[in-house]
Amino acid sequence: MASILEVSHVSKFFGGLAANSDVSFSVEEGAILGLIGPNGAGKTTLFNCITGFYPPSRGEVRFSGRRMNGLTPDRVCKLGMARTWQKVRPLAKMTVLDNVMVGALIHTNRLSVASAIAMEQLRYVGMDGRAPHLAGGLPIGERKKLEVARVLATRPRILLLDEVMGGLNPAESEEIIQLILEIKSRGITQIVIEHDMKAIMRISDRIVVLNSGEKLTEGLPREIGADERVITAYLGQAFDGH
Amino acid sequence: MRASSPRGLALVPLLALCAIAAVLVALPLTIDNPYALHVMILLFLTVVQGESWNVLGGYTGQYSVGHAAYFGLGAYVTLILLQSRQVPPWWGVWAAILLAVVVAIVIGSITFRLRGPYFVLASIAVAEIFRLVALNWGSMTSGAEGILVSDIPPLQVAGRTVTDFTSKVPFYYAGFALAVTTIVVNWGVKNSKLGYYFQAIREDQDAAHSLGIALPVYKNIALGISAFFTAWSGAFYGLYVGFIDPGTVLSVEVSVQFVLICIIGGIGTIAGPVLGALLLVPLSEALRANLLSDLLFKLGVVDEGTPTGIFLKDNLAHAHALIYGILVVLVILFMPDGVLGFARKLLARRRGQAPAAAPSAAKDSA
């Protein structure tokens, strides 16, 4: 399979601090790539570099062969790459339907068309019953699903999900896992940042591990699960005793 | 914006609106009290000001406290063209509007890089630049002396004189038409893709950006629409009052007035600025005419002869700005969604149901 996204030697500096340094990986079309690493490893910064929120200081991002450096987030989204936010960003004083319509309006100028697309996406994530409610009043689980419905309405080819399971209870997480797998079955490529190891092992085709801004390793889920360096990065150096 | 009816008004409110419009059209035929017409014209002007600020501040959430720049530009260009080039105002106003929109987009392209309070400060600074230019560019603007409209040429269509602008009636109808146009445009914006994009920008700029909304483009569209009607209202004001100077059309007070109409009425709604105008214009007129102290005397709260009474009579008329300020503080403290939002909340409470637009939930996330 051809790779849809190629990240080559991407570095991002904030002053003297390297939030990402020399990160490279690629994602195959239709696959799910898990992106893991301890807090502060630079996962979200990497998302920001890929989606145009930060220009990478070095390196380049190619999306289906096209160089993405320097494109603004709205252009990135129009080209078919969409992202969700770790800290959800509902358009609080708009209804759930309106939130998703904003995403759908990227392809149409007509509200009726956008509304139909939006309802379809809301049904898909199981939130059509919430359509007339204000987004600001939703509980966290539904906010996360709303984020997903909203980006799906932009009809992305690749979706970057930033901790969509964060803060959810096991039942809600399971719903999201099923949703991610369904999105995969639609042929949409996904990069998933997640802290829940069990979940990430289950859904990912490949996993990239970041630590202190650098790529620690990359491989199949079972390889990552057995990798000493990954365990060390997460749990710290084994205590040697006396 | 309710999901179920993104377009189309219900029949009853539509009929009510038509009835109000009919009454307003017929009003000058039945009333020839010039002061009543004057207040109505001020009302129309204030509605236009509020609605035009609303497009940028209300829907898009970009709180400009510098709309005096576009208001003054509209007034100055129209009046300069009229007085020194003899350009009839109904042509001159288009030049003024065009210039204001172009200037707005240039300014917007620079200041929209800023967010939140920094944008507000920049907008104030820009308006001050315009005021200082008008004050010091004497050869063009007559500086602090201001511009006096000597006379407006009669409006002729096909050789027949429609009006010679000697009474208030032509201004009444011009103001009415302008107010209706602005409201209709606001409604159109709100119920279109633009309205959705503007509100998305207001709610969360980064989320909007990530959903494919080009922030500078849409902010500039909002500012352009806003400046269009603001300049128009400025031209209207200048022609109606017949005199402008930097203090009356370019000062910070003018900019603040634009914001106040919306804050008091209800930001981001179509009815809000109308309500704001309905409250502010009579209040300001009452203060000016010293009706407030008269009322206090009549109600027997204060005796006219006492020192307190004399003090109030002498000073209440000048306390215009003070009372304005107190009003704003009260509204912000007790009605954060403006009078309109407050009224809706009361209505919902009276019906004994949780409002569909659960305001408490909205507050949590704010």
Same domain, A164 and A226: yes
What pLDDT does B6 receive?
42
Chain A residue closest in CA terms to B3: A132
Is the pLDDT assigned to residue B278 strictly greater than 90?
Answer: yes
Residue A39 near chain B (CB below 8 Å): no
Domain containing B299: what range? 289-352
Say how far apart CA B357 and CA B365 lie, in whole Å: 14
Same domain, B200 and B293: no
Chain A residue closest in CA terms to B61: A93
- Section B175-190 average pLDDT: 96
What pLDDT does A195 receive?
87
Query: Which residue, A137, A48, A133, is CA-closest to A86?
Result: A48
Say how far apart CA B342 and CA B267 lie, in whole Å: 12
Same domain, A65 and A181: yes
Out of A77, A95, A110, closest to residue B3 by CB = A95
Same domain, B244 and B324: no
Q: Are A33 and A208 in contact (CB under 8 A)?
A: yes
**Burial category of B343 from C-beta neighbours within 10 Å (exposed 0-12, middle 13-18, buried 19 and up):** middle
Out of A92, A102, A111, closest to residue B7 by CB = A111
Same domain, A143 and A163: no
What pLDDT does A239 receive?
57
Q: Which stretches of chain A drop beneath a pLDDT of 70? A: 1, 237-242
Q: How many domains does chain A have?
A: 2
Same domain, A143 and A164: no
Chain B residue closest in CA terms to A71: B214
What pLDDT does B321 receive?
74
Answer with the one of B238, B268, B298 that is the final residue of a domain. Answer: B268
Same domain, B202 and B323: no
Is the pLDDT assigned to residue B156 strictly greater than 50?
Answer: yes
Query: Which residue, B217, B191, B202, is CA-closest to A110?
Result: B191
Same domain, B193 and B295: no
Domain containing A33: what range? 1-80+157-242
Q: What is the token pair recorded at A151?
A: 């980006």
Rounded to the nearest 5°, which phi and psi values hold at B198? -60, -45
Give residues with Cβ within 8 angstroms of B128, minimum separation 6: B252
Answer with the one of B235, B268, B301 that is the final residue of a domain. Answer: B268
User: Which H helix or E strand runs over A207?
Assistant: strand A206-211
Same domain, A93 and A134: yes
* Selected residues 76-115 of chain A with any CB under 8 Å from a CB in chain B: 77-78, 82-83, 85, 89-98, 101-103, 105-106, 109-111, 114-115
Same domain, A64 and A1: yes
Site from A102, A108, A111, A154 to mutate, B interface, most B CB atoms within 10 angstroms: A102
On whether residue B17 sits in a domain, the answer given is no
Same domain, A58 and A148: no
Same domain, B66 and B172: yes
Same domain, B142 and B228: yes
- Section B288-317 average pLDDT: 79
Asked if the Cβ–Cβ distance from A134 to B362 is below 8 Å, we say yes
Same domain, A230 and A205: yes
What pLDDT does B357 receive?
45
Q: Which residues of B touch A109 (CB under 8 A)?
A: 192-193
Chain A residue closest in CA terms to B6: A111
Asked if the Cβ–Cβ distance from B212 to A91 is below 8 Å, we say no
Asked if the Cβ–Cβ distance from A94 to B199 is below 8 Å, we say yes
Is the pLDDT assigned to residue B360 strictly greater than 50?
Answer: no
Q: Which residues of A touch B361 (CB under 8 A)?
A: 134, 136-137
- What amino acid is encoded at A59 in this protein? G
Closest chain B C-alpha to A109 CA, distance in angstroms: 6
Same domain, B135 and B43: yes
How large is the angle between the packed helices B89-111 and B68-85, nearest 10 degrees? Answer: 150
Same domain, A126 and A191: no
On whether residue B5 sits in a domain, the answer given is no
Closest chain A C-alpha to B211 CA, distance in angstroms: 5
Same domain, B47 and B98: yes
Q: Are B46 and B105 in contact (CB under 8 A)?
A: no
Site from A44, A49, A89 to mutate, B interface, most B CB atoms within 10 angstroms: A89
Bigger pLDDT: A138 or B166?
A: A138
Bigger pLDDT: B327 or A160?
A: A160
What pLDDT does B12 receive?
83
Closest chain A C-alpha to B235 CA, distance in angstroms: 33
Tens-place pLDDT, residues B67-125: 999 999 999 999 999 999 999 999 999 999 999 999 999 999 999 999 989 999 999 99
Q: Which residues of B touch A130 (CB under 8 A)?
A: none
Say how far apart CA A21 and CA A9 lie, in whole Å: 7
Same domain, A37 and A138: no
Give residues with Cβ within 8 angstroms of A138, minimum separation 6: A90, A96, A130, A146
Site from B112, B187, B211 to mutate, A interface, most A CB atoms within 10 angstroms: B211
Same domain, A164 and A96: no
Band of pLDDT at residue B318, cut at 50, 70 and 90: confident
Is the pLDDT assigned to residue B365 strictly greater than 50?
Answer: no
User: Which H helix or E strand runs over B99?
Assistant: helix B89-111
Answer with the one of A129, A155, A181 that is the final residue of a domain. Answer: A155
Left, alpha or beta for A153 (phi > 0: left; psi -120 to 50: alpha)?
alpha
Q: What is the token pair recorded at B347?
A: 């209505």
Whole-number Cα distances in Å, A201 to A144, A197, B315: 21, 6, 76
Band of pLDDT at residue B315, cut at 50, 70 and 90: confident
Same domain, B258 and B336: no
CATH of residue A194's domain is 3.40.50.300
Same domain, B226 and B178: yes
Answer with the one of A155, A184, A206 that is the final residue of a domain. Answer: A155
Q: Which residues of A touch B8 (CB under 8 A)?
A: none
What pLDDT does B356 receive?
47
Provide the number of CB pairs (under 8 Å) joining chain A to chain B.
115
Predicted TM-score (pTM) of this structure? 0.89
Same domain, A17 and A31: yes
Q: Which residues of A touch B357 (CB under 8 A)?
A: 134
Answer with the one of A139, A155, A171 that is the final residue of a domain. Answer: A155
Closest chain B C-alpha to A201 CA, distance in angstroms: 28
Q: Which residues of B touch A146 (CB under 8 A)?
A: none
Tens-place pLDDT, residues B3-13: 444 445 678 88
Asked if the Cβ–Cβ distance from A154 to B211 is below 8 Å, we say yes
Q: How many domains does chain B have?
A: 2
Same domain, B213 and B140: yes
On whether residue B22 sits in a domain, the answer given is no
On whether residue B39 sits in a domain, the answer given is yes
Same domain, B109 and B226: yes
On whether residue B314 sits in a domain, the answer given is yes
Strands (E), A15-105: 17-28, 32-36, 58-63, 66-67, 81-83
